[in-house]
Amino acid sequence: MAAKKKARRTIKREEERLKKERLAYIGTLASGLAHEIRTPLNAIQMNIDLLAEELDAVDEERRAEFDKRVGRIKRETQDLRKTLDAFLQFARPPKLQSTPLKLHQYLEELLEFFEPEAVKHNVELRREFAEQLYPVPIDPQQFGQVILNLLSNAREAIGSHGTITVRTRETDNHVEIEVEDDGGGVKPEDEAQVFDIFYSTKERGTGLGLGIARRIVEEHEGTLTLDNHPGRAACFVVRLPKVKILEFVQDAGDGHAESTTGGTDQ
Cα 16–Cα 210–Cα 97 angle in degrees, nearest 5: 60
* Residue 238 per-residue DSSP state: E
Q: Which stretch of 20-34, 117-131, 136-150, 230-244 has the lowest confidence by average pLDDT?
A: 20-34
Predicted confidence at residue 35, as pLDDT, reads: 62
CA torsion sign, 216 to 217 to 221 to 226?
negative
**CA 135: distance to chain centroid?**
21
Q: Which stretch of 78-92, 206-220, 242-256 has the lowest confidence by average pLDDT?
A: 242-256
Q: How many CB atoms lie within 10 A of CB 78?
A: 12
Binning pLDDT at 50, 70 and 90, where does residue 177 land?
very high
The 10s digit of each residue's pLDDT in 35-53 is: 667 777 888 888 888 888 8
- Alpha-helical runs (H) found in the chain: 2-53, 60-91, 103-120, 140-158, 188-191, 209-219
Burial 12-34 (b: 16+ CB within 10 A, else e): eeeeeeeeeeebeeeeeebeeeb
Three-class SS of residue 136? Answer: coil
Cα–Cα distances (Å) from 60 to 138, 149, 190, 238, in that order, read: 57, 44, 47, 56
User: What is the C-alpha separation between 94 and 126, in angstroms, rounded?
Assistant: 31
Higher pLDDT, 237 or 55: 237
Three-class SS of residue 164? Answer: strand
The 10s digit of each residue's pLDDT in 200-243 is: 766 555 667 888 888 889 889 899 999 998 888 899 999 999 87
| DSSP calls for 44-73 | HHHHHHHHHHTGGGS-HHHHHHHHHHHHHH
Binning pLDDT at 50, 70 and 90, where does residue 247 land?
very low
Query: Would you say 234 and 186 are in contact if contact means Cβ atoms under 8 Å apart?
Result: yes
Predicted confidence at residue 57, as pLDDT, reads: 76
Predicted confidence at residue 90, as pLDDT, reads: 67
**Domain boundaries defined on the chain:** 2-91, 99-259
Instruction: Please state, for a pLDDT cut of 90, what percent of the chain lies above it.
Output: 29
Q: Which of 83-87, 174-178, 226-230, 246-250 has the highest mean pLDDT?
A: 174-178
Q: Which CATH number fits domain 99-259: 3.30.930.10, 3.30.565.10, 3.90.550.10, 2.60.40.1080?
A: 3.30.565.10
Binning pLDDT at 50, 70 and 90, where does residue 59 land?
confident
User: What is the C-alpha separation between 103 and 177, in angstroms, rounded?
Assistant: 10
Whether 159 has a pLDDT exceeding 70, the answer reads yes
